[in-house]
Structure 1
């Protein structure tokens, strides 16, 4: 848990407070004024959300995805065409992370050693590093969101 303090113009107070509520699990927003009384000071106790509210269900995220077999073929061909560390583009890492996520989702849920889930998380983290994102969420949820947006706009 942490406390956030924001100084804003009075016209932006509601918008800032709503953005904080949408981003974090928050308590009530308290406010006071700056010494010159021209701006508001907002104080809010917050914590990270355990799951993003706008997280996509896998079925929704991968609705437009080709078959897993097709994606395995595409990923293997793309990796074979160039050296793996030769700057493979974002599309490769997005599709690879989504493929591994889909494989992990199809694994037996009571499996003791879930290597697929570990690989899916590591590929998702690689995508987040590549995107240089400051998003704080489950890496596999991030992949689902990004894949759905990419598939819709490709």
Structure 2
């Protein structure tokens, strides 16, 4: 997320707001007069629009095993490694994906939980492991990477 400040003529407010909304995902525009009183300051909280080529949740997890099976796989994989052994990318990807799926289920059922927070942290761990910079929601990155991984298995 980032902030955009625009100084424009009051008559241009709507056109500028619509243009920004077309280019970015935006929150409501806040407006204030400039010190001279002749122009308007617009403040917009914005984020990049999601890349349309990224898979939907349904596409990303279409062929995923059940949540129970994935929890079992991640638990078994973590348990069989000696303490202190670095777990590979597949482990972190599958763990982040199953946590994302749990969070999605909780969100859909309006169940109050910290699943979304936990899923986001797991996604950040994957991003860190991949040594990449992501400017979108970390969970979107997990879905993209999971879809790519299952396609190339």
Please provide the CA RMSD for this pair: 2.1
Distance 1:147 1:59 in 2: 12
Tell me the secondary structure at the aligned position of residue 133 of structure 2. Answer: coil
Query: Equivalences for 1:1-154 in 2 at 5 Å?
Result: 1=4, 25=23, 48-83=47-82, 85-109=84-108, 110-112=110-112, 114-154=113-153
Which TM-score applies when normalising by structure 2? Answer: 0.65
Q: CA offsets, 1:80-113, max 9 Å, x none?
A: 011464210000000000000001111154334x
Distance 1:119 1:83 in 2: 24
Distance 2:150 2:74 in 1: 16
Distance 1:63 1:84 in 2: 33
- Kept in 2, the 8 Å contact 1:64–1:152? The answer is no
Tell me the secondary structure at the aligned position of residue 107 of structure 1. Answer: helix
Q: CA offsets, 1:21-70, max 9 Å, x none?
A: xxxx48xxxxxxxxxxxxxxxxxxxx741433333211100011111111
Q: CA 1:84 to 1:146, structure 2 compared with 1: closer, same or farther past 3 Å?
A: farther
Tell me the secondary structure at the aligned position of residue 78 of structure 2. Answer: helix
Which TM-score applies when normalising by structure 1? Answer: 0.65
Distance 1:150 1:133 in 2: 17
Tell me the secondary structure at the aligned position of residue 48 of structure 2. Answer: coil
